[in-house]
Amino acid sequence: MRLFSQEEGRITELNVFEGDLASEGEVLVGLEDDLLQAELDKARATLAQKALDVQRLEDLVAKRAASDAELSQARTAVAVAGGDVRLLETRLDFTRIRAPFDGVIIERLVEPGDFVSKNTHLLTFADPESLIAEVYASELILPRMAVGDPAQLRIDALGAVAFPARILRIHPSLEQTSRQGIVELTLEDPPAGVKAGQFVRVTLETAAVERLLIPFRALRRDRDGEFVWLLTDAGQAARRTVRSGLQTADRIEILEGLAPGDRIITRGFLGLSEGKTVKVVPE
């Protein structure tokens, strides 16, 4: 959780650092409040005076020395003054940024003496028992994932032990360059020593899917798109448009355009054209 300032002012109190534990309600950051305190004192004095005015007018109305309208206006003035007091009390409370729950500081972005405006990100705060792991997954496997699916999570700093986890959330958008989406996972039983920012490795327990793989060097590209050269039963070359998917080492997945059993040409592309007779050379 990111903690922001709701008032502007100079930081006068900041005694927590990354890794420090804090209890719910504990003051984490304090802002200068002299002007607000002075305004609040003035507003309280005004409220007290307005309340005395109401008492005085109530006595005068009872003696028929003042009108009901004057008394009504005085009571309205008390209500307005009371609202001013409550507003300033709230603003004064905003100068103390408190821990929203028992947790740990994982990011400190300001220093004592800094002047901060409203909505400045001051600290990042987290509950150690509810840390979330974020991983990137290809758009090709995202459709086979669902919230609640099991996974195994390894934390580099804690060795090779795998901890059970579950998918908590799947982000609906993709990173435009890599075409990957963010998957959030939660540990079922967070181990001792786990900390925010640690590097993790995740094994997602998705259903096995058969894939059609070809040597990466067989996939060709030109301005018309991706294609491969097939070897026909007549021993001739035939161009076939395809759509590729995941790449693994020296192989690449073909999503469309080929079928199991198709024979493809993997080398000797120089001078190759549609219908040209091909001589097969054993590798």
Residues comprising the chain, all counted: 283
How far is the C-alpha of 187 from the C-alpha of 18, rounded, in Å?
22
pLDDT (tens digit per residue) in 244-279: 987 777 889 999 999 999 999 999 999 899 999 988
Ranges in the chain, pLDDT < 70: 206-209, 283
Dihedral pair phi/psi, residue 228, rounded to 5°: -130, 160
Half-sphere exposure of 87 (CA within 13 A, CB side): 10
Q: How many CB atoms lie within 10 A of CB 22?
A: 19
Note the pLDDT of residue 50: 96
Note the pLDDT of residue 283: 67
Note the pLDDT of residue 244: 92
Cβ(19)–Cβ(139) below 8 Å: no
Distances (CA, A) of 279 to 132, 250, 265, 267: 57, 24, 10, 11
Note the pLDDT of residue 191: 80
Note the pLDDT of residue 198: 83
Residues 6+ apart with CB under 8 A from 193: 157, 158
As beta bridge partners, residue 213 has 253
Amino acid at 263: R
- Which tokens go with 176? 């435009």
Domains of the chain: residue spans and CATH? 2-125 (2.40.50.100), 131-204 (2.40.30.170), 210-283 (2.40.420.20)
